[in-house]
Each structure stands twice: as C-alpha cells, then as structure tokens.
Structure 1
Amino acid sequence: MTTAAVPSPSLRAQRLVFDGQLTIYDAGVLKTRLQAALEQAGDGGLELDLDQVSEIDTAGLQLLLLARRESRRLQRPLRIVAASAALREVVGFCRLGDFFGETLPPDARD
C-alpha cells in the first residue's frame, strides 16, 4: 500500500491518495499517516481518495472508522472522494454507509 499527499481541488482541504491493499500488513504505517494527515489538515479537512484500493480487510476498515472518529474529535471534515469496488463491497457488506454519512461517494452507500 502506498499513500501520497496531493493537492486537492478544494484549496482548503488536504488529499491523501491510497494505492494498493488496505490490510493488516500495512495497518501500523497507515494509521500513523492517517493520524498525521488529520492533524495537519486544518479547517479544510482531509479528503481520502480510495479509488485505487485493490483489497481491504477488517484492519483496513478499522483504520477508516478510526479516521472518521478522529476527524470528529478534532472537528475537522473528512470526506472519501473516491471509493474502489473493493471498498464499496466491504462497506456495503458491513452496512456502514450511514456511519460515514456524507463522507462516502453516493454509490458506496447501502
């Protein structure tokens, strides 16, 4: 799994792009990157581009749940701006579309 911070079309937000697997094997590193990105995001918040996530397991899902909870705690917006089929499948299976609310692209909600 790789991540990259890229400029967001929204000038106020920071965007983090994930590419590859979002699984237990990379969970520790990804947790650190997500928390740092949230803390640095400022008032514009953080956008997650998960379009290139090829596989996600429960550890990856837990990271996204943690990111959502931390964004609320820090009072910083968190949005998922793109979601892969793998992510949509897991979110739908776990019926977590409502938990993420408006942060999920419309086709990822169940």
Structure 2
Amino acid sequence: MSAARIAIDGELNIYRAADLKTLLLGELQRSTSLEVDLAGVTEVDSAGLQVLMLAKQAARADKRELRLTGHSPAVLDVFELLDLGAWFGDALLMAPRKDH
C-alpha cells in the first residue's frame, strides 16, 4: 500500500455525494495515506460535508491517514461556519480574509 492523492473539482453536494463516497472509501482501502485536494471545490452542502466526515472517520478507524488540502473559499466558508477545522485536524492554510 502507498500514498494516494485525489483532487475534487466542482460541486461537493448531494448530487455527487454517492460517487464521491465510493471514490474516497475505495482509495482509502488501497492506500495507507490519502490526500484530498479541495482547491477546485465550488460548492459544499451538508451531504458533501458528510462524505468528507465519513471518509475521515473511516480513515481513523482503519488507522490510515486522510488529509484535506487546498481548501477552496467554499470549503473554508463551511468549515469556519461550523468550526470544523479542529475536527478534521488539518492545517487550514488561508490568507487573511477580507470582508465584502
């Protein structure tokens, strides 16, 4: 087993949740470490967030590593709103945000 990397682009929502769940859990089974690049994510809803949380829980349960990287503005908005940075345990690299 080895490390793997997946980039998610576009919407991370209910319409893609089942496919993304299959993709993430499948990669976790084949890899000891999985990096998920979220830089291309344009929208996140609760179903998309649940997929990320399920993948993180599955990784912990199997003593594997799942890292989220490249947090897009859409991802950062949801993580900040729900205060999830610490739960995922990933470094959120973000520039100071400007109020609109």
The bucket for the TM-score relative to the shorter chain is 0.7 to 0.9
Q: 1:80: Cα distance to partner?
A: 1.1
Structure number with larger C-alpha Rg: 2
Cα deviation 1:36-75 (Å, max 9, x = unaligned): 0111112xx0000000000000001111111110110110
Q: 1:104: Cα distance to partner?
A: 3.7
Percent same amino acid among aligned pairs? Answer: 41
Q: 2:3 and 2:13 mapped to 1: Cα distance?
A: 26
TM-score normalised according to structure 2 size: 0.88
Partner of 2:98: none
Q: 1:13: Cα distance to partner?
A: 1.9
TM-score normalised according to structure 1 size: 0.80
Matches for 1:90-109 after TM superposition, within 5 Å? 90-101=78-89, 103-107=90-94
Structure 1: which 5+ runs fail to align?
A: 1-11
* Residue in structure 2 matching 1:50, options 35, 38, 63: 38
If asked which structure has higher relative contact order (CA below 8 Å, sep 6+), I would say: 2
How many residues get paired?
A: 94
Q: 1:104 and 1:27 mapped to 2: Cα distance?
A: 24
Structure 2: which 5+ runs fail to align?
A: 96-100
Matched to 2:3, the amino acid is A
Matches for 1:23-102 after TM superposition, within 5 Å? 23-42=13-32, 45-101=33-89
* Residue in structure 1 matching 2:5, options 11, 15, 20: 15
Matched to 1:27, the amino acid is A
Greater fraction of residues in helix: 1
Q: Which runs of 4+ in 1 moved over 3 A?
A: none
Cα deviation 1:65-93 (Å, max 9, x = unaligned): 11110110110111112110000000100
